[in-house]
Amino acid sequence: MTRDIVLEARNLSKQVSSPEGPLTIVRNVSFTVTQGESIALVGPSGAGKSTLLALLAGLDLPSSGEVVLAGETLGALDEDGRARLRAERVGFVFQSFHLLPSLTALENVMLPLELAGRDDARAAAGEMLARVGLAARMGHYPRQLSGGEQQRVALARASVGAPAVLFADEPTGNLDTATGERIAQLLFELNRGSDTTLVLVTHEATLAVRCGRVLSMDAGALIHDVGAAAHSHA
């Protein structure tokens, strides 16, 4: 079965200016990701992983090269167009949970659905929170939840719209080992269960090896793509 390409990086580079002159953070990165794949981006601190993630998601624009996300070339869209595409096709989970403190767990998860104009927002959000084990905590505010519970709310919010791609940047970075393991399990369950593509930035080897492919970065360049060959013959 041929899978659709859901994400493509074509010769992506990102330069920023620094007192020492131009600094290249991402250097000529190219790869394609098909629907339902799980990809880990690994590499030392400062290798450009989070910058690459921001470029892939259209949160930042490359200095050269292009990104095709869910069939749309990000560089051809304006700010509003990129925001719309993210709202409809992308989910995000970050190391810090980015929940809105004035909203309950349920309201936080309902938010992307309400913004998309879905009239089943409450029911869908409730179902998603139950899937991540928080049925009993829906009326709680972020400050009343533990770090692991907040990350599960963030994960529910990111997944509730069945995005084409779920971007996760160090999603277990702020959690203890056992809680991190539970979040990792949920990430992979959601990846398999809804055919959402998972792109994960992590420095944790145990998390990376659970992905179907591992892309290693160093000094802004892609130095290894492990697992891709196996997948292309599958």
CATH number at residue 47: 3.40.50.300
What are the tens digits of pLDDT across the range 114-162?
Answer: 888 888 999 999 999 998 889 999 999 999 999 889 989 999 998 888 8
Rg of the Cα trace of the chain? 18
- Which whole-number Å values give the CA distances from 126 to 40, 145, 151, 184, in the listed order? 29, 17, 16, 21
Count Cβ neighbours within 10 Å for each residue of 5-18 and write b for 16 or more, e otherwise: ebbbbbebbbbeee
Cα torsion 158, 160, 161, 165: sign: positive
Task: Spell out, as residue ranges, where the chain has pLDDT lower than 50.
Answer: 1, 228-234
Sequence-ordered list of residues with C-beta below 8 angstroms from that of 115, at least 6 positions apart, any chain: 87
Count Cβ neighbours within 10 Å for each residue of 154-187 and write b for 16 or more, e otherwise: bbbbbbbbebbbbbbbbbbebbeeebbebbbebb
> Rounded CA gap, 125 and 131, in Å?
10
Give me the pLDDT at residue 145, please: 94
Paired strand residues for 5: 34
Instruction: Report how many domains make up the chain.
Output: 1
Which region holds residue 179: left if phi is over 0, alpha if psi is between -120 and 50, else beta? alpha
Mean pLDDT of the chain: 87
Pairing of strands 21-34, 72-73: unpaired
Single-letter amino acid, residue 49: K
Q: 209: domain range?
A: 5-232
Instruction: Please report, rounded to a whole number, the percentage of residues in the chain having pLDDT higher than 70.
Output: 96
Give me the pLDDT at residue 230, please: 42
Residues 70, 129, 95, CA angle at the centre, nearest 5°? 65
Give me the pLDDT at residue 2, please: 56
